[in-house]
Structure 1
Amino acid sequence: MFKWKKAADNKLKRKQSMTMLVGDENESTEEEEIDLADSDEGSNRNRFREFRQEDLLNPSFSVGQVFGTVELVRKAIIEYNLRDRVEFKMPRNDRKRVKAHCAEGCSWNFYASMDSRTNCFLVKTYNGHHNCQKKWMIKTCTSKWLAEKYLETFRADNKMTLPNFARIVQKEWNLTPSRTKLWRARKFALQTIYGDELKQYSQLWDYGQELRRSNPGSNFYLNLTEGAFSSCYLSLDAYKRGFLSGCRPIIFLDGCHLKTKFGGQLLTAVGMDPNDCIFLIAFAVVEVESLLSWKWFLHSLKDDLSIDNTFPWTIMIDNQKGLIPAVAQVFPEAEHKFCEAFVRKFPSPFQRLQPQKPVVDMC
């Protein structure tokens, strides 16, 4: 008789709890069924509304709502915070419970804790009414949050300016983050897309080894100065064979600046195929453009192409720093020509040349 009465009391308490959790009028139609084990009555099936990852786009809360992890609870509160432009405080925020409330005088509050029956976080207290003023600057609008939100935007336009970025954030979120925060967000987004430049330099040895293994005949030279990167040279085997077998004996040399975190100069050597199109031969990255860097690049290129007799070759150059004397020393018997477009754009360096000496051959 006593055991039957105890079982009846447990059943009554279970029904009251199920009525309190499930009887919410605003409960969503998309619900997940969670099995609850019962030691006395066997297995019972209650229905709870589960918060999914896609609900972060427009989060909403209700009593009895289930979250899979505490990280998802925190993300949902932050998204709700920024979507409604209100400032929340979280006096309880650990692995077993999360409590949040709005500004002083506002009735909005939220409490969720780990539920042993569902083994998930369950919303036990929630009041969604606000009577506070909305804000333009929210502390939870961090640079990392902005970088995560606009990662694909920067992937499509990696040169987006900070004023344009600020206008997009203000239009979509009605928030005005500082310029410094926008700059850090853009930095984090580009770092996620392109990776950490400093760590990429440490992978150059592995890259060179893999290049020699997968493409035999290719050359990759890496020079260090006191353990730091100084210069590198790269020429694929397919480039060299294609140039020597199907292109004219003309080499075009040029250099340009690298607009990266560490800067540097990019030196290139290209040819011209039978269709009058550019054909890459080799390139190098150096710290500065000088006579020594050009001589090192030209000696590496000459050895790569196995050029012993420089007489049949033609070298097309412009007035780069150290390039003219470097070509004269490495390719002394080759024909040296200047680009016509460069001569027309910068005629002053060539006015001192003798009229009978050809300075323009082809572009």
Structure 2
Amino acid sequence: MRHLEFDEFKDMADPHLELGMKFSSFKTFKMACKNWGIQNKRQLRFTTNDKKRCICKCQRFKSSNCKFRIFASHTAKDDSTIQIKSINLNHSCTKVNKNYHVTSDWLAEKYVEQFRVDPNWSVSGIIQRVKYDLKFEISRMKAWRAKKKAMELVNGDEENQYLKLNSYALELQKTNPGTTVKITQHLGVIEGIYIYLAPLKNAFKSGCRPLISLDCCWLKGHYGGQLLAAVGIDPNDCIFPIAYAVVQVESKATWLWFLELLKDDLNIVNSHSIAFMSDRQKDL
């Protein structure tokens, strides 16, 4: 007899469990059981959970003598596939209004596409959506943590992104020959990165007006910092990006470092031929 295989990508949102169903791992099996309990408003727990077997029961199997039980183990001794060997989905207890499996991580993965479309989705809106979809009430703190984790899934973790900064610099120089990327570090801590893409460099020299505007703005990410930028005016009187840098603070030293790199890229020997515009803040 050929048994049904559980598709993690198609069936996880609304799992249908049956005798003989196969899973790729115990992790997938447990997640399917958790989602089944959430969809059916049942609180489940795993009374036995080791490398050889896993038993899922109702949280109230002792107090109300509920007969719900799912037993899963390996299909063979040397096989990693997990299979449901016995199952009883009948509950003799009442449904629950809260489920501790509805965690902030679970909510973040469930509504990640909604956060991708609407990054400004409010905490109150998240609470109302969970109440409408799942008939569960969650706290504002759990909704806030779910939003934070969902945005990490959408935008990526900032710490991991910083670890890839050197690879990013090499990739920019590989795909855009002539690009300038400078990274300054002190004791392993990144103090600044300067980027001037080769196509922008060539375009500014060949067609833009001899005007460079300098300004700085705050970065509101987890690590903060400030963005130094140089922009110009193209032949259509539109703003034209030239170069930019991310530094820890705006100071005379960081602006001097940025302008020296910009001078070398544009081969500026005498600045009388170029007009500079700034707000003259922070020793600029």
What TM-score results when the alignment is normalised by the length of structure 1? 0.69
Higher relative contact order (CA 8 A, sep 6+): 2
Q: Does the aligned pair in 1 maintain the 2:14–2:36 contact within 8 Å?
A: yes
Counterpart amino acid of residue 132 in structure 1: T
Determine the structure 2 residue equivalent to 1:300: 261
Q: For the residues of structure 1 that align with 2:174 and 2:125, how far apart are their CA atoms? A: 45
Determine the structure 2 residue equivalent to 1:58: 14
Q: How does 1:286-297 map to 2 (within 5 A)?
A: 286-297=247-258
Q: For the residues of structure 1 that align with 2:33 and 2:235, how far apart are their CA atoms? A: 64
Structure 1's 86 and 282: CA in aligned 2 closer, same or farther, altered over 3 A?
Answer: same
- Residue 267 of structure 2 aligns to a residue in which SS? coil
Q: For the residues of structure 2 that align with 1:232 and 1:50, how far apart are their CA atoms? A: 49
For residue 100 of structure 1, the aligned residue among 49, 53, 57 is 57
CA deviations over 1:2-21 (Å, ceiling 9, x no partner)? xxxxxxxxxxxxxxxxxxxx
Determine the structure 2 residue equivalent to 1:345: none
Q: How does 1:249-288 map to 2 (within 5 A)?
A: 249-288=210-249
2:39 is the alignment partner of 1:80:
no
Structure 1's 60 and 128: CA in aligned 2 closer, same or farther, altered over 3 A?
Answer: farther
Q: Does the aligned pair in 2 maintain the 1:92–1:100 contact within 8 Å?
A: no
2:193 is the alignment partner of 1:232:
yes
For residue 96 of structure 2, the aligned residue among 104, 109, 134 is 134
Structure 1's 242 and 208: CA in aligned 2 closer, same or farther, altered over 3 A?
Answer: same
Q: For the residues of structure 1 that align with 2:65 and 2:94, how far apart are their CA atoms? A: 6
**CA displacement at 1:105 relative to structure 2:** 0.9
Q: For the residues of structure 2 that align with 1:55 and 1:309, how far apart are their CA atoms? A: 67
Counterpart amino acid of residue 154 in structure 2: I
Determine the structure 2 residue equivalent to 1:110: 69
**CA displacement at 1:49 relative to structure 2:** 5.1
What TM-score results when the alignment is normalised by the length of structure 2? 0.87
Q: How does 1:1-363 map to 2 (within 5 A)?
A: 33-34=1-2, 48=3, 50-53=5-8, 54-62=10-18, 64-69=19-24, 70-94=26-50, 95-103=52-60, 104-105=63-64, 107-114=66-73, 120-135=82-97, 137-323=98-284
Q: Does the aligned pair in 2 maintain the 1:247–1:273 contact within 8 Å?
A: yes
Unaligned runs of 5+ in 2: none
Q: For the residues of structure 2 that align with 1:241 and 1:120, how far apart are their CA atoms? A: 59
Higher deviation after alignment, 312-321 or 137-146: 312-321
Determine the structure 2 residue equivalent to 1:44: none
Structure 1's 201 and 129: CA in aligned 2 closer, same or farther, altered over 3 A?
Answer: closer
**CA displacement at 1:57 relative to structure 2:** 3.0
Unaligned runs of 5+ in 1: 1-32, 35-47, 324-363
CA deviations over 1:296-325 (Å, ceiling 9, x no partner)? 2122211210111211221122253322xx
Which one has a bigger Cα radius of gyration? Answer: 1
Structure 1's 275 and 165: CA in aligned 2 closer, same or farther, altered over 3 A?
Answer: same
Q: For the residues of structure 2 that align with 1:218 and 1:294, how far apart are their CA atoms? A: 20
